[in-house]
Amino acid sequence: MNSVVGSVLIDTCTLENFAIVDELALLGQHYRERAQWTETIKYEIQRGLTAEPRLQSVLDATWLGEPLSVPASPKALLKIDQIRRGLGGQQDRPTQHLGEAEIIYYLEQREPTWILLSDDQAAVDLARRRGLNAIDTPEVLSECHAYGEIGCPDAYNLLLKMQDADRGVRVPADHRAVC
């Protein structure tokens, strides 16, 4: 569990995971004004609307606020692309892993208490190797359980529901890792 109090930049996959199981409000309740996203994350959500209409709930989530923009300087763009490639982004697919790379870049420019929230384990691992705070959905649900925002086994069952929806979320072997 993280005890830091900075902003939480939420990646596309995590927003999608909660939206798909109709539990996006839990993220909003837990993070409130601390939750943030980038313009690229918003674009990725918009792009996915055709395939998954439930993503509209992300675009309607006022608690996310206005998306952050990443500086468009050549130096920043080069650094973001280096991070993107470190996450496995291919040269001929310039938007592959772009959201995660932007968040990692953005966090490196901010206070050390800011957090990446992602279910892309490669992004979480890279952020942690760079000395950044990074968490995933099981850790969020553990926090939500600790704050009484969701009960047990509901927190763990929510992970199972995401897994059943083929969301690629990490599911601990035992519910006690979450609640």
- The residue segments making up the domain with residue 38 are 9-136
Does residue 4 lie in a domain region?
no
Average pLDDT score over residue span 59-71: 92
The pTM assigned to this predicted structure is 0.92
Does residue 21 lie in a domain region?
yes
Buried b (16+ CB within 10 A) or exposed e, 29-56: ebbeebbbbbebbbebbeebeeeeeebe
pLDDT tens string 119-157 = 999 999 999 999 999 999 999 999 999 999 999 999 999
Mean pLDDT over all residues of the chain?
Answer: 92
pLDDT of residue 3: 42
Does residue 167 lie in a domain region?
no
Specify the residue for token string 């979480």.
124
pLDDT tens string 10-49 = 999 999 999 999 999 999 999 999 999 999 999 999 999 9
Residue 79 sits in a domain whose CATH number is 3.40.50
How many structural domains does the chain have? 1
- Residue 110 pLDDT grade (very low, low, confident, very high; cuts 50, 70, 90): confident
Exposed, middle or buried, 1 (CB in 10 Å: 0-12/13-18/19+)? exposed
Does residue 124 lie in a domain region?
yes
Does residue 176 lie in a domain region?
no
Does residue 157 lie in a domain region?
no
Does residue 68 lie in a domain region?
yes
Does residue 67 lie in a domain region?
yes
Q: Read off the tokens for 56.
A: 């509209």
Q: What is the DSSP string of 48-98?
A: HTTT-GGGHHHHT-GGG-SPB-----HHHHHHHHHHHHHTT--TT-TTTTH
pLDDT tens string 74-106 = 999 999 999 999 898 888 888 888 899 999 999
